[in-house]
Structure 1
Amino acid sequence: MNVLLDGFAAVLTPENLLFAIIGVTVGTLVGVLPGIGPALTIALLLPLTFNLDSPTGALIMFAGIYAGAMYGGSTTSILLNTPGESASVATSIEGYQMARRGRARAALATAAIGSFVAGTISTVLLSLLAAPMARFAVMFRAADYFALAVLAMVAVTALVGRSMVRGLLSLTLGLFLGLVGIDSLTGQARFTFGSVNLLDGVNIVVVIVGLFAIGETLYLASRPHDVPSTVAPLEPARGFAWLTRDDWRRSWRPWLRGTALGFPFGALPSGGAELPTFLSYTYEAKRSKHRDEFGSGAIEGVAGPEAANNASFSGVLVPLLTLGIPTSATAAVMLAAFQIFNVQPGPDLFDEGARWCGR
């Protein structure tokens, strides 16, 4: 307990709080822009850490960038149907429909509050359950990851809609795109058709922009007469934080359920944030009392995935801090930041933490 209190004392200084504000602000802006992810941003800012005496401020800023990017993608998902990050794809399904109905305020509010709730709870869980979660993560074997992949495929198939054929076709197309490139185990080129440009595979950013941003643009351009002459006006701001009493009642449970899904999946290697967000959306769509609203702007479809998205961020830090294993590109860059200060994440990190936190 004394070590935890010393950690709060080290973090809650004006200098480190300023680093946190800068990181969250930059991360939110990065999350809004498709193609510029938190990993690239942290990598570009790594040289700035060379002049710092302590890694605490730099790591706080990098964590803020990661957390801010997880939330920032929801803004364009809701307003433009263009996810800034792959983990925000599930949010765009219901969030954009809410914006079209004039409920953009409520969608943005439930995304922001859900991100805060999930981030706070998952950070507390990270402090208390890091070691047990790390031991649980390393217990997963090939059969467990296969079962996890099957679960993801079933969730995607059930997500698309009432048509099972459409779901299976979407799943097949996604698997095909994922197989393009060099096999990580055998080194063989798959489905490259002799093109050198396809050896690295199909970039997820290209897929997202093509399916959502360009797809939405072409859809509207092909139907100029169907576009309304006026934009749907925003509903009057009602209730606390733009959410009515009914919105709060329908959102708080998805926030907690999304947190419960996002944190453990984030701790698993290759778990990521995409799988728990889609699982959260699928669960809310199947169990909600307002299932008839899904597809036309159900607030549960925004609250749950956004909570799962942000909770997975803290989950990613579990294997990074306790085992020294990065489970995402951003975690790998953060590992490099640790090593710049001669700090090696792993089982001994917490025992040696007092030395480099400034004590």
Structure 2
Amino acid sequence: MDIILQILSGVFAAGPLLAMLGASLLGVFIGALPGLNPVMAIALLLPLTYSMDPLVALGMVAGIYNGSMYGGAIPAILLRIPGTPAAIATTFDGFPMAERGEAAKALKIACWSSAIGGTASAIALMTLGPLLARGTLYFGPAEYFWIAMFGMASVGVMVGRDALKGLIASVLGLLLGTVGLDQLSGSSRFTFDQPWLLGGLDLIVILVGLYALPPVLQLAEAADLKGLPASALRLARVRLGRAEVLALVPTWIRSSLIGIAVGILPGAGGNIAAFLSYNAAKNRARDPDRFGKGAPEGVAAAECGNNADNAASMIPALTLGIPGNVVAALVLGALLIHGLQPGPQLFHQAPDLVGGFMVQMLITSVLILLVGGAAATRVFAQVQRLPGVMLVPTILVLMAVGVYVINGRVVDLWLMFGAGLAGYLLEKLEVPLAPIVLGMILGPMAEQGVRRALLIGRGDPLHLVSSPLSMIIAAATVGFILWPLLRRLKPTRRSDR
């Protein structure tokens, strides 16, 4: 009871509350601007959180995350341009509703669906997270090694169109994670006699470069100098009737469960949750032909599904140290900034902080109803009038200042721009960036796990699979790696016949 009171008193203090409210507004603004995304915003925010209270910093992350996921529905409905990748499915029925004069109604449904999905996801995090953390207390070095390998394999295979490119990105992340001093022997690796590399590559600097610079370069490449006229963004006030709300309840329940399940699986992401939820709603509908022509259930399913992924993706991140998506990886970075090691021990080392972040994910989900109301949505819709080129210099300055204040080193700026250019080229080659980040985070965990397990087993490799749990996780890891290869072999076998 004491810890609950401590969590609530910390979350409902003035600082965290203002941080959540302001960040939720900022998140909707960012999501409403095509070309910007929550990953870029949180990556820019992280360097500024060094001097903040941890609950204030995490409250801002939660607000931007949940707010931007709803904000992505605004251009998806009004312009048929998804503000975030997870809002692609929202365009299927949201834009047709806008074309027949029901844009305000579609945005209202998106607002309620986002809040409901996010709330359900936060409740799942608050209930399943501590339970899973208790189970992971029985993990040894071998289990941690296989958990890290499973996380990298699953994300590498599931993110992006080409599983091979995803696995290559994971290996690249592993290589970047080896730079610096060996934590067990103390010897330097890949430092090239540069003292600033002894501590390894700064994760936050790499994150800012990989995820903030490529969208800026794409905005500059698009060269949008006009924006939209005000006449295209006029919205009327609308209220959902009781019958309309009751008709959407089954869709909300189904999509929330799908989004939570997808969020727990590392590497899936909100866009997959949205598509699965949309397809489930269409398959269960009495008249599936309405979908794609302006069905309210389509908007509700897509927005509820992608927001139900939000907090659920934090479950493996906080309990195992394996982020469910890129934003979860950034949250791990925020925890590392404040000296906290993600994993099962986190619930014992800082229960007030972990519990507070869970409550903040719940509060910011509910705040969507406040910041995404009719008046607020009309205001945020006006950001479509901003020319995209105007954002480029502003974001570049924020990136440079944020990275420089971390260590006060000019070399970090060059590292950031180098990572950003590499990220831009990799995206052009359709190589996913998430496995690189995951490799940097999980690589040291996997290395320490395998070396400690071999020390305990006196060099016997079979010690890595000496327990039933390690054997199960190892089999799942191998299965994830082999699945794309087996899937490619099936058509070949058929053609041979």
TM-score (norm 2): 0.52
Q: Which residue of 2 aligns with 1:303?
A: 300
Q: Residue by residue, what CA displacement relative to the aligned partner does 1:86-124 show, whole Å, maximum 9, x if unpaired?
A: 100001100001111111122111111111111112111
Q: CA deviation at 1:30?
A: 1.1
Judge conservation of contact 1:102–1:233 (CA < 8 Å) in 2: no
Within a 5 Å distance, the mapping from 1:232-311 to structure 2 comes to 242-311=239-308
SS of the residue 2:88 aligns to: helix
Q: Among all aligned residue pairs of Structure 1 and Structure 2, give the percentage whose two residues are the same amino acid.
A: 37
Task: Note closer, same or farther for the CA distance 1:296–1:323 as it changes in structure 2 (3 Å cut).
Answer: same
1:287 Cα deviation from its structure 2 partner: 1.1
Whether 1:336 aligns to 2:333 is yes
Residue identity opposite 2:300 in structure 1: A
Q: 2:418 — aligned with what?
A: none
Gap change, CA 1:327 and 1:354, over 3 Å in 2: closer
Task: Decide whether the 8 Å contact of 1:94 with 1:296 is kept in 2.
Answer: yes
Q: Give the SS at the match of 2:57.
A: helix
* Structure 1 or 2: more helix by fraction: 2
Q: Give 2:169's match in structure 1, choosing from 178, 184, 188.
A: 184
User: Structure 2: how far apart are the matches of 1:17 and 1:179?
Assistant: 44
Q: Which runs of 4+ in 1 moved over 3 A?
A: 131-142, 178-187, 203-206, 230-234, 354-359
Taking the aligned partners of 1:58 and 1:32, their CA distance within structure 2 comes to 22
Q: Structure 2, unaligned stretches of length 5 or more? A: 137-145, 173-209, 223-230, 357-497
Aligned residue identity for 1:90: A
Report the Cα distance in structure 1 between the residues aligned to 2:232 and 2:353, rounded to whole angstroms: 54
C-alpha RMSD of matched pairs (Å): 3.8
- Displacement of 1:11 in angstroms is 0.5
1:331 shift after superposition: 2.0
1:319, distance to aligned residue in structure 2 (A): 1.4
CA displacement at 1:263 relative to structure 2: 1.1
1:55 counterpart = 2:40: no
Does the 8 Å CA contact 1:102/1:232 hold for their aligned counterparts? no
Residue 175 of structure 1 deviates from its aligned partner by 4.2
Structure 1: how far apart are the matches of 2:302 and 2:149? Answer: 24
User: Residue 323 of structure 2 corresponds to which residue in structure 1?
Assistant: 326
Residues 250 and 299 in structure 1, CA contact (< 8 A), matched pair in contact too: no
> Size of the alignment, in residue pairs?
295
Separation (CA, whole Å) in 2 of partners of 1:205 and 1:285: 33
Which letter does structure 1 place at the counterpart of 2:106? Answer: A
Q: Displacement, 1:7?
A: 1.5
Q: Report the alpha carbon displacement of residue 76 of structure 1 after superposing the two structures with TM.
A: 0.6
CA contact (8 A) 2:28 2:70 kept: yes
1:16 matched residue in structure 2: 16
Alpha-carbon distance change, 42 to 11 in structure 1, aligned in 2, over 3 angstroms: same
Q: What secondary structure does 2:313 align onto?
A: helix
Please tell me the residue identity of whatever aligns with 1:251.
Answer: L
The one-letter code sitting in structure 1 at the alignment partner of 2:294 is: G
Shift of 1:5: 3.8
Aligned residue in 1 for 2:109: 110
CA distance in 2, matches of 1:204, 1:114: 30
Q: Which residue of 1 aligns with 2:342?
A: 345
Mark the CA change 1:358 to 1:85 in structure 2 (over 3 Å): closer, same or farther: closer
Q: C-alpha deviations, 1:273-292, integer Å up to 9, x for none?
A: 11111011111111112323
Q: Which runs of 5+ in 1 are unaligned?
A: 153-173, 188-199, 214-229
In the alignment, is the contact (CA less than 8 A) between 1:101 and 1:232 conserved in 2?
A: no
Q: Map 1:116-131; keep pairs closer than 5 Å.
A: 116-131=115-130
303 and 5 in structure 1: CA distance in 2 versus 1, 3 angstrom threshold: farther
Contact 1:326/1:332, CA 8 A, preserved across alignment: yes
Contact 2:110 2:299 in 1 (8 A): yes
Distance 2:278 2:352 in 1: 43
SS in structure 2 at match of 1:184: helix
For 1:25-36, what aligned pairs fall within 5 Å after superposition?
25-36=25-36
1:3-25 CA-partner distances (Å, limit 9, x unpaired)? 33431221012221100011111
For residues 225-275 of structure 1, the C-alpha deviation after alignment (integer angstroms, 9 at most, x for no partner) is: xxxxx98997x755xxx2123321221221111110111211111111111
> Normalized against structure 1, the TM-score is what?
0.71
Give 1:4's aligned residue: 4
Alpha-carbon distance in structure 2 between the residues aligned to 1:186 and 1:321 = 23
AA partner of residue 288 (structure 1): A
Q: Once the two structures are superposed, what CA deviation does each residue of 1:329-354 show, in whole Å capped at 9, x if it has no partner?
A: 22222222111111111101111225
Q: 1:185 to 1:43 in 2, by over 3 A?
A: closer
Q: Which residue pairs with 2:367 in the alignment? A: none
Structure 1 counterpart SS, 2:72? helix
Q: Aligned residue for 1:71?
A: 70
What amino acid maps onto 2:169 in structure 1? S
Q: Tell me which amino acid in the other structure corresponds to 2:38.
A: P
Q: Which has the larger radius of gyration?
A: 2
Q: Which amino acid aligns with 2:342?
A: P
Q: Are the structure 2 counterparts of residues 247 and 319 from structure 1 closer, same or farther at C-alpha, using a change threshold of 3 Å?
A: same
Task: Report deviation, 1:186.
Answer: 7.6
2:313–2:325 Cα contact (<8 Å) kept: yes
